[in-house]
């Protein structure tokens, strides 16, 4: 018998590896069987990949929940996944057992692209000392943004005025608001990170948003999901370059902006923005190998802030304007409150929020009714734990179905309707139920929550102060259904903005 060729040896090794993985999986599932969450029976090698409709994953999870309960399991190739539904299960996992469930699963695609999300940044980083250090820095910078000459609220207020001017330039004609909302929110992030804003006609702003949209499209595509659970496919020549060119291009653009900013940084001057503050931390940490303040993390944190902070807020604002043209009575009520508290003679301020319960209720109801991230960001167990009496082993990916909490019929009076009274008590005072968790819960609560809340209030009230919004004459009533990829977007729509 001749010697086996290299290709034959490789094929044999793959077969043996698959066989051993199957044996290991069967052994583990037998060991967990009594207390492991129920779920559809997986197919060897593929798990449940062909049994779950990932093109309509929200409805697929809805059906699986009704079949298996609030805590059910899936097997995505070799990746064990547990899906958590309902207020009790989600809160128990994210809050009561936060030390067990706050890790993030690895993302093989990003690592293959040269990124290290599990060790850098704040969104997908491993739950450990480096992540804690970066989160503390980012939160304190957001909270105490008196850096340089302007506060963060001033940045947002001034950008809201620019956004209103752009809306006014439409002269009451029908238009789609999404592009202008994207530019306004992106400018806020740019102000925070680089201390500068772009004119809305600036090609660099258009290029940034174009690449950001491409990145989000790639992140929500089926290719990313398949390659993450079957990472050996990443070695097919040209495959990654074909599906994920936007990730590389967006990262290169932000790296260029950081380098430009660094050239003008003067360590003797007060920090102008987050990048200056980070550069100062890098200088201070020199010689300390334990510090997470380094050039790679600077790129990762700025990437996270742009990627996670731009689309989320602008899409929420697009939902808010859509729901206002679909619910004109609520729009009039908001405007009456704005006129009574703020008037037309000055810009809205965050201090006004406490005296505007109905406006506050409307903004919160937009986030509840059309929550843009219904499945949250995946978590991973860092050690064995229990949720609702089920055993969940270390290394299991957790999907928190936030939609099931925000639409829970035992908590919300009209869960399937846009109903701002969900956030008002009988006396008309603003209240926030514990189940309102659009930013998730526990230690991994969305880093940008304080900034997002500020942007939503100041942009929304500024627009409603200046304009009345309506469905363009002769056009059908838009749908309030959405398109779900990685985020829930409204279907394309137009509106008219008429100066008040």
CA contacts within 13 A on the Cβ side of 232: 6
The gap between the terminal CA atoms of the chain, to the nearest Å, is 89
Backbone φ and ψ for 139, nearest 5 degrees, come out as -65, -45
**Tell me: the pLDDT tens digits for 277-307?**
899 999 898 888 888 898 888 888 888 888 8
Q: Is residue 391 part of a domain?
A: yes
Task: Show the CA angle centred on residue 142, arms to residues 138 and 145, nearest 5°.
Answer: 125
Q: Is residue 366 part of a domain?
A: no
**CA separation for the pair 420, 422 (Å, rounded):** 5
**CA separation for the pair 200, 202 (Å, rounded):** 6
Q: Is residue 113 part of a domain?
A: no
375, two tokens: 């499945």
Q: Is residue 421 part of a domain?
A: no
Q: What is the pLDDT along the chain (500 residues), one digit of tens a residue?
A: 444 455 555 556 556 555 656 555 555 555 556 789 999 998 887 888 888 888 889 999 999 999 999 999 999 888 899 999 999 999 999 999 999 999 999 888 878 777 776 677 888 888 989 899 999 888 888 777 654 445 788 889 999 999 999 999 999 999 999 999 999 999 999 988 888 899 999 999 999 999 888 888 887 777 777 777 777 888 888 777 778 888 888 888 888 888 888 888 888 888 888 888 899 999 898 888 888 898 888 888 888 888 888 989 999 999 999 999 999 999 999 999 999 999 999 999 999 999 999 999 999 999 999 999 999 999 999 999 999 999 999 999 999 999 999 999 999 999 999 999 999 999 999 999 999 999 999 999 988 888 899 999 999 999 999 999 999 999 999 999 999 878 899 999 999 999 99
Q: Please name which of 49, 328, 269, 45 lies closest in space to residue 148, comparing C-alpha atoms.
A: 269
pTM, two decimals, is 0.89
Q: Is residue 92 part of a domain?
A: yes
- Structurally, the chain folds into a number of domains equal to 1
Q: Tell me if 446 is assigned to a ligand binding site.
A: yes
Q: Which domain holds residue 86?
A: 23-107+375-408
> What CATH number corresponds to the domain at position 84?
3.30.43.20
Q: Is residue 16 part of a domain?
A: no
**Tell me: the pLDDT tens digits for 443-461?**
999 888 888 999 999 999 9
**Tell me: the pLDDT tens digits for 372-394?**
999 999 999 999 999 999 999 99
Q: Is residue 353 part of a domain?
A: no
Q: Is residue 79 part of a domain?
A: yes
Q: Please name which of 192, 237, 240, 190 lies closest in space to residue 218, comparing C-alpha atoms.
A: 240
């Amino acid at each position: 018998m001749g010697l086996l060729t290299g290709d034959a040896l490789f094929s044999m090794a793959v077969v043996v590896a698959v066989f051993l993985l199957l044996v290991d999986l069967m052994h583990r599932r037998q060991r967990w069987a009594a207390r492991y969450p129920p779920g559809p029976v997986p197919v060897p090698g593929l798990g449940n990949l062909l049994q779950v409709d990932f093109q309509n994953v929200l409805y697929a999870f809805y059906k699986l929940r009704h079949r298996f309960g609030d805590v059910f399991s899936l097997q995505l190739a070799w990746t064990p996944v547990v899906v958590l539904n309902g207020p009790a299960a989600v809160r128990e996992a994210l809050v009561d057992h936060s030390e067990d469930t706050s890790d993030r699963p690895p993302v093989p695609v990003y690592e293959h692209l040269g990124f290290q999300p599990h060790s850098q940044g704040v969104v997908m980083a491993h739950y450990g000392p480096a992540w804690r250090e970066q989160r503390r820095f980012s939160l304190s910078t957001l909270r105490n943004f008196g850096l340089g000459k302007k506060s963060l609220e001033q940045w947002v207020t001034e950008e809201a005025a620019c956004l209103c001017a752009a809306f006014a330039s439409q002269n009451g004609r029908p238009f789609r608001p999404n592009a202008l909302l994207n530019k306004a929110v992106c400018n806020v992030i740019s102000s925070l990170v680089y201390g500068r804003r772009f004119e809305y006609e600036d090609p660099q702003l258009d290029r940034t948003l174009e690449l950001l949209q491409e990145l989000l499209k790639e992140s929500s595509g089926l290719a990313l999901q398949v390659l993450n659970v079957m990472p050996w496919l990443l070695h097919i020549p040209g495959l990654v370059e074909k599906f994920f060119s936007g990730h590389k291009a967006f990262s290169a653009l932000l790296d260029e902006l950081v380098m430009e900013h660094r050239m003008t940084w003067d360590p003797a001057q007060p920090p102008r923005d987050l990048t200056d503050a980070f550069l100062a931390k890098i200088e201070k940490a020199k010689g300390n190998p334990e510090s997470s303040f380094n050039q790679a993390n600077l790129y990762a944190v700025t990437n996270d802030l742009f990627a996670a902070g731009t689309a989320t807020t602008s899409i929420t604002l697009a939902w808010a304007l859509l729901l206002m043209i679909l619910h004109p009575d609520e729009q009039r009520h908001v405007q009456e409150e704005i006129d009574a508290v703020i008037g037309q003679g000055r810009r809205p301020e965050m201090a006004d929020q406490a005296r505007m319960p109905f406006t506050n209720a409307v903004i919160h109801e937009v986030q509840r009714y059309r929550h843009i991230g219904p499945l949250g960001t995946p978590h991973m167990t860092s050690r064995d734990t229990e949720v609702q009496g089920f055993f969940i082993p270390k290394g299991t990916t957790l999907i928190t179905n936030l939609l099931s909490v925000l639409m829970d019929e035992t908590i919300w009076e009209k869960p399937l309707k846009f109903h701002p009274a969900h956030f008002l008590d009988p006396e008309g005072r603003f209240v926030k139920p514990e189940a309102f968790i659009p930013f998730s819960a526990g230690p991994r609560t969305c880093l940008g929550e304080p900034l997002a809340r500020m942007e939503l209030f100041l942009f929304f009230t500024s627009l409603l102060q200046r304009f009345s919004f309506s469905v363009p004459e002769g056009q059908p009533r838009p749908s309030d259904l959405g398109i779900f990829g990685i985020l829930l977007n409204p279907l394309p729509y137009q509106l008219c903005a008429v100066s008040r």
